[in-house]
Amino acid sequence: MATEAQALAGDWGGGVHPYRVGHRKLGMWLFIMSDSLTFSTLLMGYAYLRASNVWPTPFRFYPSIVFSSVMTLVLLSSSLTMVMAVSASARRNKSSARKWIVATALLGVTFIVLHAIEWKHLIDEGLRPFQLPAEWVEKWPGATPLFGATFFGITGMHMFHVFTGCIYLLVVAGRVKKLKHEDVEISGLYWHFVDLVWMFVFPMIYLLSVYPKK
């Protein structure tokens, strides 16, 4: 039937899925487009505010840069395990797919735990959404409290996405026997997107604010 329709009018003639993807996958792509604009909003706002202010660059090698690099590594590895999960699912090896998805979610949890510890370091130092530690104010006179606001706002928003992603993955892992391959792929799309966002957040928030060598 589909071939007849295609002969009639090609991919766009109706009666076929023009991108060869089901509703849910297309819906996820659209959600990703939209969500990436939410993150762009936050990152553009960050760039705008950073450019117009005295901005502290407080991240020392230890703990912040070490932690954030390890977090990046964890998240990148989780993308790899996700690829393994999708590949296992493509081979209809559901139990292997389940293991890889659980591994991905565990790496996600590791990321959140490391990030929470990293947050705690900064909070202990005195960083708040509305103020800088007194020490930083001395070091960078006139620095804006927006450092804390953008830091907690953007990394918090990202962490929220990782958190929902972990729950999503665990649900997929639990029901993987009942789900189609495409549904595993869709959860993979979301997870890779969350990783990709971190690849913008990490350099923009962390690497641009490395403590100056002097």
Partner 1 sequence: MAEATHPEVHRHPAPTGFIRKYIFSLDHKVIGIQYILLALSAVVVGMIMSVLMRVNLSWPGTHLKIMETLFPQGAPGGVMTPEFYLSLVTMHGTIMVFFVLTTAPQGGFGNYFLPIQIGADDMAFPVLNMMSFWVTFVGFLVLLLAIFAEGNATVGGWISKLGESFAGGSGTVGPIGGWTGYPPLSALGKIAGPGQGAGVNLWIISIAIFCVGSLLGALNFITTLLNMRTRGMSLMRMPLTCWAWFTTAILALLSFPVLLGGGILLLLDRIAGTSFFIPGGLYVSGSTVPLHNGGSPLLWQHLFWFFGHPEVYIAILPGMGATSHILSTFARKPVFGYRAMVFAIFAIGGLGFFVWGHHMFISGMSPYSAVAFSILTLSIGVPSAIKTFNWLGTLWGAKIRFTTPMLFAIGFVSLFVAGGITGLVLGQTSLDFFFHDTYFVTAHFHLVMGVASIFGMFAATYFWFPKMFGRMMNESLGKFHFWITFLGVYAIFVPFHAMGLLGMPRRYASFGEYEFLKNSHSLVLFVTIAAIITVAVQVVFYFNFFWSMFKGKVAGDNPWEATTLEWTIPSPPPHDNFAGVVPVVYHGAYEFSVPGAPNDFIMQTEPEGVALGAELGGASGNGGNGHKA
Tell me the two tokens of residue 63: 């703990």
The nearer residue to partner 1, 44 or 117, going by C-beta atoms, is: 44
Q: How far is the CB of 34 from partner 1 (least distance, A)?
A: 5
- Is the Cβ of residue 42 or residue 70 nearer to partner 1 in the bound state? 42
Cβ 115 to partner 1 shortest distance, Å = 19
Beta carbon nearer to partner 1, 39 or 136: 39
Task: Identify which of residues 58 and 148 has a Cβ nearer to partner 1 in the complex.
Answer: 148
Smallest distance, partner 1 to C-beta of residue 76, A: 26
Q: How far is the CB of 165 from partner 1 (least distance, A)?
A: 18
Residues in contact with partner 1 by CB under 8 A are 1-3, 5-10, 12-20, 22-24, 26-27, 30-31, 33-35, 37-42, 45, 48-49, 52-53, 128-131, 144-146, 148-149, 153, 157
